[in-house]
Amino acid sequence: MSPLAMSGRRIVTSLVRHHSLTTELIANMDKKATWDRFYAESSSGTTAFKNFEWFFGFDAVRDFIMPLLQTKSHPDALLEVMDMGCGISALGPCIYRHSPLPVRVTCADISPIAVRLMQEHVQAKAIQPHNLSSQLEFVELDCTQLHKHYGCSSVDLIVDKGTTDALLRSKEGKGKASLMLKHCLKVLRSSGSLLQFSDEDPDARLLWLETEAQELGVKAADVGVQEVGELRGMTYYCYQVTPRPIV
Ligand SMILES: C[S@@+](CC[C@H](N)C(=O)[O-])C[C@H]1O[C@@H](n2cnc3c(N)ncnc32)[C@H](O)[C@@H]1O
């Protein structure tokens, strides 16, 4: 398997073996071209599509996500959910499949290759939602520009599995991670939440989130963390960011 088709952790582990290529890859995880290549390589040479999961799949985090989808924000509206930087993960389709309340799940990614692979996959698989009013869509979107897709205070839940991590670890990605957070806080309803699934230590991530949320000046935010668990010797966390309008 090429280094491009490895999980984030294995990429880091392979740093020693493939020093120059992997250093370049990790340094450029904020770039569209890096992910286009990654998804093109991971889907080439195989006829059957297979989801690729960064860190872990839906089952590891369903208990963090599904309780947040138990109350409608408006009686007639669908709950608006986004998987930010969805890649070819099954996370968004699983939320669509399992939510008892009607949801519109938008799986957004900067890579048109990932978006196309997922569109073809769900079309072929015809996934049935728990609630027949639910909707599932895949869009090519730079999530540092969320205002191009969403209005202010219009989203109930944003899930981010590894996307902010990828930006924060890139050479030129830190500003993009800040911008992404800023846009999340703008488009989230005051009752909404952003969940970041990450392997970054709380000492570092909580400080970053708290500092950024204050500096952004859009809205202050409450920030919390829970442990997801340990997998292959790594500890993973769920960071929950809840917008709080500035009074
Ligand atoms: C570490 S992968 C995680 C993929 C997926 N969430 C998962 O769990 O497998 C990061 C994803 O973020 C996407 N990405 C990077 N920058 C982005 C941006 N500015 N806007 C939207 N997606 C972006 C990449 O294309 C990639 O699919």
Q: How many other C-beta atoms lie within 10 A of the C-beta of residue 36?
A: 15
Q: Are 158 and 238 in contact (CB under 8 A)?
A: no
**How far apart are the CA of 163 and the centre of ligand 1, in A?**
5
Distance 76 CA to ligand 1 centre (A): 31
Task: Among 110, 121, 158, 199, name the best residue to mutate to test ligand 1's pocket (greatest count of ligand atoms within 8 A of Cβ).
Answer: 110
What pTM, to 2 d.p., does this model score? Answer: 0.91
Ligand 1 environment, Cβ below 6 A: 8, 30, 35, 52-54, 85-87, 89, 108-111, 114, 142-144, 161-163, 166, 176
With 70 as the cut, is the pLDDT of residue 10 above it?
no
Q: Rounded distance, CA 165 to CA 226, Å? A: 16
Among the listed ranges 9-13, 44-48, 173-177, which one has the minimum average pLDDT value?
9-13
Measured distance CA(39)–CA(54) in Å, rounded: 12
Residue 114 CA to ligand 1 centre (angstroms)? 9
Fill in the DSSP letter of residue 191: E
How many CA atoms within 13 Å lie on the side-chain side of 94? Answer: 18
Task: Give the least confident one: 55-64, 74-83, 84-93, 167-176.
Answer: 74-83
CATH 3.20.20.450 for the 48-244 domain, yes or no:
no
- Give the residue extent of every domain in the chain: 48-244
- Report the atom number in ligand 1 closest to the C-alpha of 32: 25
The model's pLDDT over 120-146, given as tens digits with 9 standing for 90+, comes to: 999 999 899 999 999 999 999 999 999
Q: What is the mean pLDDT of the chain?
A: 89
Residue burial 38-56, b: 16+ Cβ < 10 Å; e: rest = bbeebbeeeeeeebbbbbb
Q: Per-residue pLDDT for 169 more than 70?
A: yes
CA of 85 to the centre of ligand 1 (A): 3
Confidence of residue 12 (pLDDT cuts 50, 70, 90): very low
